[in-house]
Amino acid sequence: MVEPRGAAVDKACGEGLMPGAVAELLRLGVRPHGHPLTGITYKSAAHPTWRQAGHDFRAGPGVGMRRTELSTLLTERAASCGVRFRLARVESLVQDARGVTLSLASGNGDLPSTLRSEWVFGCDGLHSSIRGMLELDPPPAPKRSRRRFGLRQHFAVTPWSDHVEVYWSPRFELYVTPVGERMIGVALLGERGLDLAAAIAATPELAARLDGADAMTPVRGAGPLRQRVAQHARGRVLLIGDASGYVDALTGEGLRLGFAQATAAVAALAAPIGLAAARVAPATASDAPATAPVAASVAPATASDAPATAPVAARVASAIASDAPATAPVAARDAPVAALAASTGQVASVPAAARGPAADLASAAEVVARYERGWLTVSGGPTRFTAALYALSRTPLRAAFVPAGSHVPAVFSAAVERLAE
């Protein structure tokens, strides 16, 4: 995994793990810890006491936790599976029929180096440089487009609810997530120019809750959020997570989708070479068979839990490129998750010497086609759901969201369960 920052990567986000995301983390052998989230409550920012709609998750709680802590857990888990890390930035990539050559620049003044791999996962967030190198960036938005941005800050206050609270106003949403015994996170979503302190002041109930509370972190931002990406792979590079496109953060599904896309990417690599699907490593490293072969070449290693007879090839293991600048608010989850998926999947290859360039090109095209299908399978429905809510929120119907939820609780509960799963 190529990453220019340390293990504890921060980003501007709501920091709420929905039950579906928690289940994915447990499947990957990562046990999140933080404040339990038992449901979601939407409130009218101006009239929260008489216009609100709430629902408790049926499948169990989610978790509110700092993104830095989650990033550390994912990185530690990936390392325990044999993933190797390179503290460097990807400056360029060159593809040929049999692989990808990455040009790396380290942050400690070392001379530039290169990394060769058959496959690369680009997991470097909303404003992915890997996506730009593939010439898959979305076209520039019209100057008058109403693009959305996010801000986030933490406050020292005891959580007053186990729900994520969403204060809904005509111009913005405020998401309040408990992330510790004496810490809550407040995230603001809205158009350019919004101020977090002003939005809180315009929300009487939240302003009263935070009156006198100390800010524990500076305000951090991200955006613009909407990233239209028509293609999620090119050649031997697959885009995962926010790098593969993004609609909006109002449904809080980013983490779960990132996990699912990483799994789909590994499955796309594994299936053409005789494997039905990628397997997940045991919950702890000690659970792996003693004879399991671990690739000792370029990062990340593959198949730490594969049987001794599995033909594991280091060159098939994907190099994970997360090369966003340290100051950019990119998705901290993306690179560790993709590394974890790649390192815990069982990946095998027909030796390169046994095939010619034509076979290499054919297999690459097959992998890309399979990943596009897998991406649509895991992301298509959630993306359409988010896009529909996003579109409605930008019409006069926005004012009816919370009243409708309070008057038709069955519909509201069904929508929340859809997000939770």
**pLDDT tens column, 387-400:** 788 778 778 887 77
Residue 293 has pLDDT above 50, yes or no: no
Q: Mean pLDDT throughout 135-154?
A: 78
Structural domain includes residue 295: yes
User: Which of residues 192 and 146 earns the better pLDDT score?
Assistant: 192
Q: Mean pLDDT throughout 188-215?
A: 90
Max intra-chain CA distance, the chain: 71
- What are the counts of helices (DSSP H) followed by strands (DSSP E) for the chain? 10, 17
Structural domain includes residue 180: no
**pLDDT tens column, 120-132:** 999 988 788 898 8
Inter-residue contact 370 to 268 (CB < 8 Å): yes
Supply 81's token pair.
Answer: 């599976």
Structural domain includes residue 172: no
SS3 content of the chain, % helix, strand, coil (to 5): 35, 20, 45
Q: Mean pLDDT throughout 57-66?
A: 91
Predicted pLDDT of residue 287? 35
Residue 310 has pLDDT above 70, yes or no: no
Structural domain includes residue 389: no
**pLDDT tens column, 93-144:** 999 988 999 999 886 666 678 899 999 999 988 788 898 899 888 777 665 5
Q: Exposure pattern of 372-385 as b/e (b: 16+ CB <10 Å)? A: bebbeebbeebbeb
| SS3 (DSSP) at 377 | helix
User: Which of residues 27 and 251 earns the better pLDDT score?
Assistant: 27
Predicted pLDDT of residue 355? 43
| SS3 (DSSP) at 13 | coil
Supply 134's token pair.
Answer: 């593939």
Residue 184 has pLDDT above 90, yes or no: yes
Rg of the Cα atoms in the chain = 22
User: Which of residues 360 and 354 earns the better pLDDT score?
Assistant: 360
Average pLDDT, the chain: 75
Structural domain includes residue 187: no
The range of the structural domain enclosing residue 87 comes to 70-140+227-384
User: How many C-beta atoms surround the C-beta of residue 95 within 10 A?
Assistant: 16
**pLDDT tens column, 244-275:** 887 777 677 778 888 889 999 999 888 744 44
Task: List residues bridging with 52 in a β-sheet.
Answer: 43
Q: What is the pTM of this model?
A: 0.75
User: Which of residues 67 and 420 earns the better pLDDT score?
Assistant: 67
Predicted pLDDT of residue 73? 92
Structural domain includes residue 390: no
The DSSP string of 286-313 is GGS-TT-----SSSSP--TT--TTS-B-
Q: What's the domain count of the chain?
A: 1
Structural domain includes residue 329: yes
Structural domain includes residue 52: no
